[in-house]
Amino acid sequence: MVEPLRLGSLTVDPPVVLAPMAGITNAAYRRLCAEQGAGLYVCEMITSRGLVEGDATTKQMLVFDETERVRSVQLYGTDPGYVGNATAILCEQYGVAHVDLNFGCPVPKVTRKGGGAVLPWKRGLLARILEAAVAAASPYGVPVTMKTRKGIDEDHLTFLDAGRIAQETGCAAIALHGRTAVQGYSGVADWDSIAELVAAVDIPVLGNGDIWEASDALAMMDHTGAAGVVVGRGCLGRPWLFRDLAAAFAGNPVATLPTLGEVASMMRRHAELLSVHMGEERACKEFRKHIAWYLKGFRAGGELRHSLALVTSLRELDELLARLDPTEPFPATELGAPRGRQGGPRRGVVMPEGWLNDADGSSLHVTEDAHLPSGG
């Protein structure tokens, strides 16, 4: 048995968190995953400026399913004022029970502005942002956490200072992706860095990176001493991973190997939930991106895959799914295999000019965009 994760008054049992992923972890997908097993399912990242200024796109992303009793949102921000105001809005107007702050995104359009994975280099600015969020959430009893990476590159590591600052500013926990910004999603996650952070702070540390199976989550926690895990790419096309995680953390490790017919049923459920929240036409368009992940490793032919990637209605989806062989077993070769974006390491990390010259940035003002959907 694995102990529950406690974030202030919020208990997460099992200590499993769905990582916010842009365009993926909407209300429909969060419900689909929650139907498989308990955990904390975080809304895709929104920008604090977009929320404060009433941006329509931001508001559309802040949709919750009727079954979501615990509303969790990841917030992006580079300005303490915006972050504090946005946190207060989430608590007061949206009834969230948890706010996570993103300092792990390695995408150039984010880092070139001084945000995401490069912001923790400015220790003073990071502290001001965290202080603003915690102060805004405290009157509502809402815990604030942060997610980050090891650092910009191996010569500019920030995770230990980030953990110290998170603890000093009153954060309830910190999640660490065991890669640097320059690595992106390439290579192998450094679980040793997660163990190092666990040893350095008293607040709970969540581990992230290379959790493809429930056994990986148990191995990470055993290796690092982490209080829980954050799962991102590992659940793409495999929402039943949360069923396996719940079982493994309860002491009953299993590996769900659904037939293609069972996967097709999951695909249909996913599209159905999207339709509830978006309407059928838009839902089918949104669902197309998931086809390749669900069918990865199965023998479904190229023509059928192509047709599924162009689906326009639930009726058409039903007709196409009916053409799959429901008895085809799950491809064992996919167990433990990486999913989602990977690529190679970047040549460098795009940052504002002179960003590395000062490691404090207490008085720095970083212009914040209203639209920067991404993840970390």
Report the C-alpha gap between 109 and 351 in whole angstroms: 9
What would you report as the CA-atom Rg of the chain, rounded to the nearest whole angstrom?
20
> E strands of the chain, at which residues?
5-7, 10-12, 16-18, 40-47, 72-76, 98-103, 144-149, 151-153, 156-157, 173-177, 205-208, 228-231
Beta 16-18 vs 228-231: how paired, if at all? parallel
105 is catalytic: yes
Q: How far does Cα 58 stand from its chain's mean position?
A: 17
| 289 phi and psi angles, rounded to 5 deg | -65, -20
Report the C-alpha gap between 168 and 155 in whole angstroms: 25
- Name the token pair of 234: 């590992």
Q: Closest Cα partner for 147 from 191, 194, 195? A: 194
Do residues 26 and 61 touch, judged by C-beta distance below 8 A? Answer: yes
Report the C-alpha gap between 274 and 82 in whole angstroms: 31
Do residues 328 and 264 touch, judged by C-beta distance below 8 A? Answer: no
Do residues 227 and 204 touch, judged by C-beta distance below 8 A? Answer: yes
DSSP code, position 255: -
Angle between helices 191-200 and 159-168 (to 10 degrees): 40
Instruction: Say whether 241 sits in a helix, a strand or coil.
Output: helix
Query: Annotated catalytic residue: which of 43, 105, 171, 235?
Result: 105
Angle between helices 123-137 and 80-93 (to 10 degrees): 20
Do residues 372 and 47 touch, judged by C-beta distance below 8 A? Answer: yes
Do residues 326 and 261 touch, judged by C-beta distance below 8 A? Answer: yes
Residues with catalytic roles: 105
